[in-house]
Structure 1
Amino acid sequence: MSAVNDTKLNSAVFLLTGIPGKEDVHLWISIPFCLMYVILIVGNSVILFIVKTDPSLHEPMYIFLSMLAVTDLGLSISSMPTTLGIFLFNSREISLNACFAQLFFIHSLQCIESSVLLLMAFDRFIVIHNPLRYASILTLPRIAKMGLVCVLRRVALILPNPFLLQRFQYFRANVLSHSYCLHQEVMKMACSDIRVNSIYGLSVTIFTVWLDSLLIFLSYVMILKTVLSITSHAKCLRALNTCVSHLCAVLLSYTPMIALSVMHRFGEGSSPLLQILLAYIYVLVPPLMNPIVYSMKSKHLRARIIRVFIK
């Protein structure tokens, strides 16, 4: 009995995976990964700096953009140590507690980002549907309360996951298929009945990401209905143009997020390489592209960024 226990929880570790079959070129692969991390950290930090220091950008749209930038930074930084550790130093081992902490932050920030995108959809709906009351509806105190509620609610939903995983026993070496820990994958490594974790994890996904995506879709249905009622073709196009950046952010975030979640839960025969690719897209591409998309579409923000770098 003691021999069995020795191979389980007390000495268990997880082994992370980079890109299978490409271990000999991991150091070269680390170069684009390092560049992407540097660019996304600089890009999101610049957005935060400009919005904070420029009073003319203290508007709901830019405040929500700042929330998105903070979330993107957190999501990327949560996966960065283990990802770069594998590619730079071939360091695959991660302890149970470190793995549980990492998956808590990744999933919490994923849910918070989903909430921020929903708030941004609400912002776009108000500015198009009721522009005269826009400033009175989305006041700074109200935005702060909305952001705080979203963070606390989503963290409370994800918090039970690591504690539920700690109840299980694991064998000494558990090979994960990604360079960071995800709840859907870690729970499959347990030597126990995982039905409670599976049901709870799926319920959280449905009532956060899936529900948010449905509400965002309904917001855009109402936006489209409002826009189509505008008689002026130029005003109609101008109204739709204000939503392009947010639509890009939604597609960049939800497409890999939902695809990866579905593949982990239901895609038993799916390609492992496709799962790995989606996992990297999930944590790197949205934080990398969101500052670029918003700075390209917002003339005001782009002008402030250019001014900062020219000085």
Structure 2
Amino acid sequence: MAANPTPTNDMVLLARCHDLIKGCEALEVEIGLKQNTAAAMQAAWDAARAAQTEVGRVKTERAQRRKNLRDRDREGEVVIGRCRLRLTAVFGTGFNTQWGAAGFTDRSTMVPEVFAKRLSLLSSLARYFELKPEHESMDMGATAMICEATFEALSAARSAVNFNKSALRTAVLAKNAALKKLRKRMRSLIRELWILLPADDARWLRFGLKLPARLPMPEPVERVTLEATGQGKVFVQWPPAPHATRYRVQMRSMGTAEFTTATTVAEPEAWLQDLPLDEFTEVRVIAANKNGEATPSPTATVMVR
């Protein structure tokens, strides 16, 4: 399947599989497809699309819920500030045991900077004003009812965000599973086509695929980008080379005569690890497929940290 590798990009995969479905609809009876029919491909494609759509929906919901949490938190800060002004008239400006009894901690009368402490303080102020209604002030917006309502709204907003985190994780896992199944179905179809079609049969093109017999030599990698990430590691990236199905990543230390192959990968990126620290390392990439190898890419250099 070197001529028709499985796409790693999700959107490219969906587009490629859409072409495969059209090819199956037109030719499955003619060429005798049995396992990977248009219906089977369509079901896998629909499941992947639905799972991807669900991830988008949950992400949109996440943005909305995060905004709501920020809004409720700002309202909570305002309420705490009003209660603080009210209690200053009763307790004085300096921290004392009365401030502590009202729920202020860390020997401070200021609005807490930490979210969890603001949430806790709202609950404490609601209980305090219930026990000390003479210290409430409706005009100043400092009452047990206001504190309790603000606490409940803020707590509900936080719970909604946490629930969304769980829902997003579930949706992403479902999407990954559906895309994995679609990739497996695509590879299975291409294997079946290998059995049913000659390598030079023009009907490969009806599936949006390349003719295996005409796989050209790969073109060279145009450039290589290096990023030293610390602890002797370097992240290597390069633009995909036309017709390449694999890449040999080669390296050498400055002053060394020969390049050595560090790894061979199918994707246009790789990690190099355990490199000598505080030394320059040169890297190049060689694109390849079953017909051979392209000339090496231009060399890139990085100081390893």
TM-score, reference length from structure 2: 0.22
Tell me which protein shows more strand as a share of its residues.
2
TM-score, normalising length from structure 1?
0.22
Asked which structure has the greater RCO (Cα within 8 Å, sep 6+), the reply is 1
